[in-house]
Structure 1
Amino acid sequence: MLAPRWSVWALMTLAGQPLRYAEIKPKLPWLADGQLHPRLRKLTDAGLVERTAYAPRHVTYGLTARGAELMPVLTVIAAWGNTHLEKNLVPNAKTGEPEPERIAAADNIEDSLTLLTPRHATPLLWALKARGAASARGLAAAAMPGYNLSAVYPPLRQLIDDGLVEATDESAFQLSAQGRDLAPLYRALSAWAGGRPLSDSGSHPVWGQAPAPSQVRTGAWVTHQSRVPALPAPAPSAPVLPAAQRPVARWQPGDLFSHQVPARPITAPSAGVHRR
C-alpha cells in the first residue's frame, strides 16, 4: 500500500486536513487525472484515506485514523533517507559554496522504500540482522526456503549495489552501516503494521537493538535525482531536518508493500528522474 509510486505524496498532501479533489490536484500537478484518481481510490480501499461525499459536487478526501497513525512512521523513513541516500552538491544561493541539495521528505521516503520493496530484499535484510555475517547458503535457507541456492545471489548483489549489504569474504555477507541503521525504520513499520504505538517499537525481536552509529553525508529536504546510500563522509554543519531474539522473524511483504517498484526509470516531477 505504500510502495506504489506517489502514494506517499498523496498521503502527505492530505496530512493537514481533508481536501476536495480540486484542492489536491494543484498540490500534485505532475499527476494526470488518470494517475491521481486511481491512487486516491487505492489508498481509500487500503483504509488509509476516507472519501466523504457531502453532496454530489462536494466530496473530500482525508486521512483515516489508520492513515494518520502512519505519519510518524513516514517521518522515521524520511529521516533514514535524508541521512543515508546520496545527494548532489549544488551551489548555495547566497555564498555560492557547494552544499548537499535539498530533498523533499516524500522523495526521501519513496526512494528509501524503493530499496526495500524488491522481492526478497526485506527477508534477506532481516535474516542478516538476526544472524550477523552469514553465507549465501545460510541466507537462502533462512530467507528464501524452497528456492535454489543460485536464486539468492541476484537480490544479494542488488542489496550490495544499494549499499545495504557488504561481502566480508568470498562466502559471507553482513549488513553495512547503512543497513544496520535501518533498525528504527523497520521497528516503526512493524509497530504500525501490528497496530501498536511507536513507543512500543523498541521491543522488536529482530531490530530492537539500537544500530551502530555511522558517519554519513546529510542534508535538508526538497526534490532530487534518485539515489542509493551514500558513501560514509563527515556530516556538514547544516542541520538534518527530520520530522532482538532468534529464530529469524518471517517478514510478510503483503502487510506493507502491495506493489513491487519497477527497476526501470520512472518519470518524476520537473526536478528530475527517479530510479533505483
Structure 2
Amino acid sequence: MPETVAADLSRVTESLQMLAPRWNVWVLMTLAEQPLRYSDIKTRLPWLVDGQLHPKLRKLTDAGMVERTALDRRNVLYGLSARGKAVLPVLPELAHWGRTHLEKDTAPDAVTGQRVPKAVPQAQDIEDTLTLLSPRHATAILWTLQVRGASSAKAIAASVMPDSSLSVIYQPLQRLAEDGLITRDRHRDGHVELTAAGRNLAPVYRALSAWAAGRPPAEAGDHPVWGLAPVPSPATTAGPGVWLTTQPRHPAPAPRPTQTAWKPGDMFSHTTPARPITPAPAGGRTR
C-alpha cells in the first residue's frame, strides 16, 4: 500500500483497539449527553460491577476519550473529552452495518405467531460489529482486498504480514470467511475476495478513518480506499445476515424506552427486553 494509506490503516486499527473492548461503547454512549458521577454511571449500567466499571473508565480516560474532573474529594465527574465526542457520529455507521448484516435470534410474534427477529440494543449492534473488525490482521486483510481485488492467500500474506510464514494467514482468512466478509473464488485457484457485506463496510471505515485522523465527519467520503459507494447487499432483501464466529455476548438487562432514531446517549433502538442468554443453536454460531 502507499505510505499514506498504510498510515491511515494503522490509525484505524489503533482506533478499533480503543473502541472494541467489551462495554466501552456502552460507557461512551452513557456519557454522551452530559458528565455523570460514578454512582450515576453505575445506576445506568447496573450489570457492570465496581471491578468492571472503574477499570473501563480509567482506560478510556488514559485513551483520551473520557475526562475525569474532581470537584472535591468525594465529588468526581466523568464526561466525554473532545475526542470522545468526536466519535459519536461514527457509532451510527457501526450500528447500521451490524443491524443490516448480523443475524439475530427470532421469536414468535405476539399477534401473527410468525417468527420475527428479536430486538437488539443498538450499542450491542455496535459492539458486535467491532468484534468482527478488531481481531489482529482482520482490518488489514479487508483493506488489502479492497485495494487489490481478488487475491491469493500468498499475495495477501505478503502485504499484511511480510515477515511471517505463509501458514499464519490462513486462520484470519478462515475467520473472515466464516463471518461472511470474504469468500473464496473457486474459479480462480482459490483466490479470496470481499463479499457484499465486506464491501459494505465502506461507510464504517470512512467514518473511522476521519475520526482517527481528527478530521470532521463531513470529510469522511473522500477516502483513497473506501471512497466508492457500497454495493447493495442481499442481506437487506432476502434472508438473515451473516453468522458471527465469536462467542455470543451476554446481553444487557432490559433497556429503558428511547426514541427509535439514534442520538447521543441512546444505547437502545427498541423498547423490548434484550435477548436471554442462550447457547448457540446447532448448525452455526450467532452473535
**Amino acid of the residue matched to residue 36 of structure 2?**
L
Matched, 1:74 2:100: no
Structure 2: how far apart are the matches of 1:101 and 1:27? Answer: 22
The correspondence for 1:103, drawn from 116, 120, 126, is: 120
User: In 2 relative to 1, CA 42–50 (structure 1 residues): closer, same or farther, beyond 3 Å?
Assistant: same
For 1:246-257, what aligned pairs fall within 5 Å after superposition? Answer: none
Instruction: Calculate the TM-score normalised by the size of structure 1.
Output: 0.80
CA-to-aligned-CA distance 1:137-170 (integer Å, 9 cap, x gap) = 1111111111111111111010000100000114
2:234 aligned counterpart, secondary structure:
coil
CA-to-aligned-CA distance 1:67-89 (integer Å, 9 cap, x gap) = 11101101111111011110122
- Percent identity between matched residues is 56
1:38 corresponds to which residue? 55
The correspondence for 2:39, drawn from 22, 29, 35, is: 22
CA-to-aligned-CA distance 1:165-197 (integer Å, 9 cap, x gap) = 000114200000100000000000010000001
Task: Give the conservation status (yes or no) of the 8 Å contact 2:124–2:251.
Answer: no
Structure 1: how far apart are the matches of 2:215 and 2:111? Answer: 45
For 1:80-229, what aligned pairs fall within 5 Å after superposition? Answer: 80-169=97-186, 170-217=189-236, 229=241
After TM superposition, give the deviation of residue 272 of structure 1 in Å.
2.4
2:107 aligned counterpart, secondary structure:
strand
**Amino acid of the residue matched to residue 69 of structure 2?**
T
**Amino acid of the residue matched to residue 213 of structure 1?**
P
**Amino acid of the residue matched to residue 101 of structure 1?**
K
**Amino acid of the residue matched to residue 272 of structure 1?**
I
1:272 corresponds to which residue? 277
Matched, 1:230 2:242: yes
Task: Give the conservation status (yes or no) of the 8 Å contact 2:109–2:116.
Answer: yes
Task: Give the conservation status (yes or no) of the 8 Å contact 2:235–2:241.
Answer: no
**Amino acid of the residue matched to residue 277 of structure 2?**
G
The correspondence for 1:49, drawn from 49, 53, 66, is: 66
After TM superposition, give the deviation of residue 97 of structure 1 in Å.
3.2
User: In 2 relative to 1, CA 176–193 (structure 1 residues): closer, same or farther, beyond 3 Å?
Assistant: same
Task: Give the conservation status (yes or no) of the 8 Å contact 1:217–1:230.
Answer: no
2:27 aligned counterpart, secondary structure:
helix
User: In 2 relative to 1, CA 267–108 (structure 1 residues): closer, same or farther, beyond 3 Å?
Assistant: closer
RMSD: 2.2
2:10 corresponds to which residue? none
**Amino acid of the residue matched to residue 178 of structure 2?**
D
After TM superposition, give the deviation of residue 263 of structure 1 in Å.
5.7
User: In 2 relative to 1, CA 17–94 (structure 1 residues): closer, same or farther, beyond 3 Å?
Assistant: farther
Structure 2 unaligned residues grouped into runs of 5+: 1-17, 254-275, 281-285
Structure 1 unaligned residues grouped into runs of 5+: 219-227, 232-261
Instruction: Calculate the TM-score normalised by the size of structure 2.
Output: 0.77
Number of aligned residues: 237
Structure 1: how far apart are the matches of 2:247 and 2:96? Answer: 25
After TM superposition, give the deviation of residue 217 of structure 1 in Å.
4.7
